[in-house]
Structure 1
Amino acid sequence: MKKFYRMEGMFPPLITPFKDSGEIDEKKLKKLINFLLEKGVHGLFIGGSYGSYPLLTMEERKKLAEMVFAEVNERVPVIVQVATPCTAHSVELTKHAADLGAKAVASVYPYYYSAFAYDEKDLLGYFKALVDASDIAVHLYNNPKATGYATSTKFLLKLNEVGVTGLKDSAGDIMLLSEHIREFRNRGIDFSFAIGTTGMLLAGMALGVTGCVAGTANALPELMVELYNTLLKKNLEESAAIQLKVIEVRKLQNIQGFRPVACYSMLKMRGLDMGTCRKPWRELDPENYKIVEQRLRELGLL
């Protein structure tokens, strides 16, 4: 029997606060978790792109997960992203996440070689190993910018055959996402569809998406939760107004070319010091910080 978990709601992909020494700052991490939960997020997605997971060692990834689960204490569901370039390491992280109580694990394709060397059999074998590693659901985190591999509907159906029962889609292609949803629906396959491109949430939920992994929700959880809840009420006019504001914020986050780093500064603007990011990430330069702060004030978000 396939293991299933439907992601429903707004799940911030947690950023990872670091000390100047380079260590994970557990105190600040706890502060961030409680801030997000108080603002009404529906769950947490850890070990993702915003969490700087490729910059963490295996032990740091495990330690980070342990910190999060201890602080969350079952208040909301948690999904753990377990991708590595090595199947055995991803299996190890999957087992660890299951032991901690994760509702599901997610994984991008095993990156680097995925861009030019692997065929479908290699990738199906990787995901089959994750499915066989535990009793929790396995979702594909589709991020072709990071892996160099785009997911067709035909291949997503093959992944489902080996036990993958959900998708976190960050491809930014609403036409392809609609094809995925249509084909699974036509075949009567129960599958969890979540979106990782917040600018497409309005369109995605109209098609049948039930979850959202929104990096912006690290710094502005109220805005993202409001968008999700308004969409649930099918208030199109109000939803569109919020969606346009979210798109404006996402553009602001990209002022330095990389949206995740802006979240550290945006939280600082709100009085929440999240330490620093890990190099080679670079925090917002002073001039960019001022531009973002001023525009957020103009948007009524500070």
Structure 2
Amino acid sequence: MNTLDRNAKGVYLITVTPFTDSGALDLASTDRMVDFCLEKGVTGLTVLGIMGEATKLTAEESRTFVRQVLARVNGRVPVVVGASAPGFAPMGELTRAVMDLGAAGVMVAPPPTVRTDDQIVAYFDMVSETVGPQVPWVLQDHPVSTGVQMSPGVILRILKNAPTCVMLKHEDWPGLAKLSAIRAASDKGELQRVSILTGNGGGLFLPEELTRGADGAMTGFAYPEMMVDVVAAHARGERDRAHDLFDAYLPLARYEQQAGVGLAVRKHLFKERGVIASAMVRKPGPKLSAQDLDDIRFLVQRQDKRLRDLG
């Protein structure tokens, strides 16, 4: 089994959850999606994230989907599972289930009920206790979705208290200064180094985040090869090349990050690329208009041209 650790780097793609037109889990498309992501060179996968419509799945559907992904991956890359839950009992239950299936670790975000610094730190102390001493976990910092602001100081307190928290999923925006502060603290030996993967808007700040010390990306985009190639170019020291590649994809990545319709755009593009059979988003969810589809076609054509020009 691939176990998540502090040296994780590369691209852990946040996957969508494929459904049929009727809204049922589409396990055949799930297999194609896994194959597609691995063919594009991702380092790992993350399932049951916010863009994976985790809150729209039943507990049994969540386990079925994770089981299908892990079986298809078959140990080739690590798989991280979102385990955030309203209470610790369902969090612990899901964690035990997915780890038994072969997950590499779990990811947890703070609930909107924690507000003060001490409340946030105490909550994650209980997360460590709940998932257990053998389970590596990821601290998700995504204030836009959680409403919880965690300062660098609070994150450092959490990491110092939690030896099994091996990764920070950095999604604050703007957050470059926060990323720099956390990386500087570990570089100075103030705490044990953790992996930092970024998730801002499909990688909208990925080149800058890599320069600030991020180890890669943990986010979603209908063209995962963008993140794979940008991270690889940056690791080779080809900073200009990384930015050139990123710039070619940026208009479509930006379009995909629109609040409300972004997931529908991503699923539409996955369908167009032959990855999934249906672009179905479970209710409540948006539908794309004819004008939306025209925008997407135009941006894909321009993206293709830019990539050809870049060679």
Same-fold call, TM cutoff 0.5: yes
| Higher mean displacement: 81-90 or 221-230 | 221-230
Residues 9, 121 of structure 1: alpha-carbon distance in 2 compared, 3 angstrom cutoff: closer
Correspondence for 1:221: 224
Paired residue secondary structure (1:166)? strand
Residue type at the aligned position of 2:124: L
User: Does residue 139 of the first structure (1) align with residue 135 of the second (2)?
Assistant: no
Write the distance in 2 (CA, Å) between the matches of 1:203 and 1:100.
36
Matching of residue 193 in structure 1 with residue 193 in structure 2: no
For structure 1, the 5+ residue unaligned runs are none
Q: Deviation at 1:117?
A: 12
Q: Percent identity?
A: 24
1:149 corresponds in structure 2 to 148
Equivalent pairs, count: 296
| TM-score, length basis structure 2 | 0.88
Contact 2:42 2:228 in 1 (8 A): yes
Q: Give 3-state SS (helix, strand or coil) of 2:204's partner.
A: helix
Which secondary structure does the structure 1 equivalent of 2:281 belong to? coil
- Per-residue Cα deviation, 1:17-66 (whole angstroms, up to 9, x for no partner): 11233211101111111111112111101111121111112221111111
| 8 Å Cα contact 1:83-1:107 kept in structure 2 | yes
Q: Deviations over 1:260-281 (max 9, x none)?
A: 2211111222233442111111
Instruction: Provide the TM-score with structure 1 as the length reference.
Output: 0.90
Q: Is the 8 A contact 1:44 1:77 kept in 2?
A: yes
> How do 1:42-53 and structure 2 match up within 5 A?
42-53=43-54
**d(CA) in 1 for partners of 2:118 and 2:143?**
14
Does residue 209 (structure 1) correspond to residue 214 (structure 2)? The answer is yes
| Partner Cα distance (1:147, 1:230) in 2 | 33
- Counterpart CA distance in 2 for 1:229 and 1:121 is 35
Instruction: Report the residue type matching 2:126 in the other structure.
Output: Y
Q: Which residue does 1:120 correspond to in 2?
A: 120
Give how far 1:193 is off: 0.8
Q: For 1:156 and 1:294, how far apart are their aligned partners in 2?
A: 41
Q: Corresponding residue for 1:70?
A: 71
Matched, 1:103 2:104: yes
The one-letter amino acid paired with 1:293 is: R
- Map of 1:257-272 to 2, 5 A cutoff? 257-272=260-275
Task: Give the 3 Å change call, closer, same or farther, for CA 235–47 of structure 1 in structure 2.
Answer: same
Structure 1 residue 135, shift from structure 2 partner: 1.4
Q: Aligned Cα RMSD in Å?
A: 2.2
Q: CA deviation at 1:115?
A: 5.9
C-alpha contact 2:20 2:26 (8 A) present in aligned 1: yes
